[in-house]
Amino acid sequence: MADKNDSFDNYLDSHYIHRSNWLRAAVLGANDGILSTASIAIGVAAASSAREPVILATLAGLVAGALSMAAGEYVSVSSQTDVEKADIEREKEELEEMPELELQRLAEIYEERGLKKETALIVAKELTAHDALGAHIRDELGINDISKAKPLQASLASGAAFTVGGLLPFMATLITPLDTMEYYLYAFALLFLIILGAVSAKTGGSSIGKAIIRITFWGTAAMGLTALVGYLFNVNVA
C-alpha cells in the first residue's frame, strides 16, 4: 500500500504546473537581468572611449535592477495576496449569512463543469459538510495551493535570477575589447538568452524552440534599440 502511495505522489510531482509561480518569477528576473545590464553596457559602450564608465554604469544597473525587481515583485504579488484575502473574507461572510444560496452556487459550478444537476447538488453538499470555505475558495474563487500568490518566494526568485542574469554581461564588460565591446556584449547576451530559453522551457515542459525564438527576438530588439540610442546621441563618455 505504501508503494502505491509513493508512486502516486511521484506521479503528481511530475506535473510542471507546480513550478509555475517560482519559474515565472525566475525567468522574468533572469531575462530582465541579462537584457537590462547588457543593454546598458551596449548603450554606454557605443558612446564611450573608456572602459570605466561602461563598468560603472553596468554595475549600477545590475544592483539597482536586482533590488527593484525583488521589491517590485514583492509589492505586486502582495497586492494579489491582498485581493485573495479580501475575497476569502467576503466568502466567509456570505457562507454565514446565506449558506443555502452559497450551496446552490457551488452546485451550479459543478453542473457547469459537466455533472448532472442531482449529482452536482450531492457533491456540493458533501464538500460543504467537509469544508465549506475550502470548497468555495477552490471552486468559486479559483484559488488553490498552486496558483496562490507567494510574495516572498516570487521576490527572492526574481531578485536572485536578475542578479545571476545581470552578472553575465557585467563580466563581459571586464574582459572584452573596448572598441568592439558592444558586439561581444550582444553575442554573449544572445547566447545567455538562448540558454535561458532552453532551460526555462525544459523546466516548464514546453517547446524549447519556441522559447528560444521568443526570448532571442525580443532580446535582440531591446539591445539593438539601446545601441542605436548610444550611436545617435554619440556622447563621448570618457
**Burial zone of 167 (CB within 10 Å; 0-12 exposed, 13-18 middle, 19+ buried):** middle
| Consecutive H or E run containing 9 | helix 2-13
Task: Name the helix (H) or strand (E) containing 121.
Answer: helix 117-139
pLDDT of residue 8: 46
Could you read off the pLDDT of 89-112 as tens digits, one per residue? 988 888 888 888 888 888 888 888
Are the CB atoms for 132 and 95 separated by under 8 Å?
Answer: yes
Residue 179 exposed, middle or buried by CB count within 10 Å (0-12, 13-18, 19+): exposed
Position 20 pLDDT exceeds 90: no
- Cα separation, 205 vs 192, in Å, equals 20
State pLDDT tens for residues 164-213.
989 988 999 999 998 888 888 888 888 888 888 787 777 766 678 887 88
Specify whether the CB–CB gap between 151 and 33 falls below 8 A: no
Tell me which DSSP letter residue 148 carries.
S
Distance, in Å, from the CA atom of 179 to the CA atom of 182, rounded to the nearest integer, reads: 8
At 162, the pLDDT band (50, 70, 90 cuts) reads: very high
Q: Which three cell numbers stand for residue 75?
A: 509589492
Residue 63, pLDDT above cutoff 90:
yes
Give the pLDDT of residue 183: 85
Cell numbers for 101 = 444560496
Q: CA-CA distance, 196 to 207, in Å (whole number)?
A: 13
Whether pLDDT at 41 is above 80: yes
Q: pLDDT at residue 9 above 60?
A: no
pLDDT category at 6 given cuts 50, 70, 90 is low
DSSP states along 175-231: HS-GGGHHHHHHHHHHHHHHHHHHHHHHHHTS-HHHHHHHHHHHHHHHHHHHHHHHH
For residue 4, pLDDT beyond 60: no
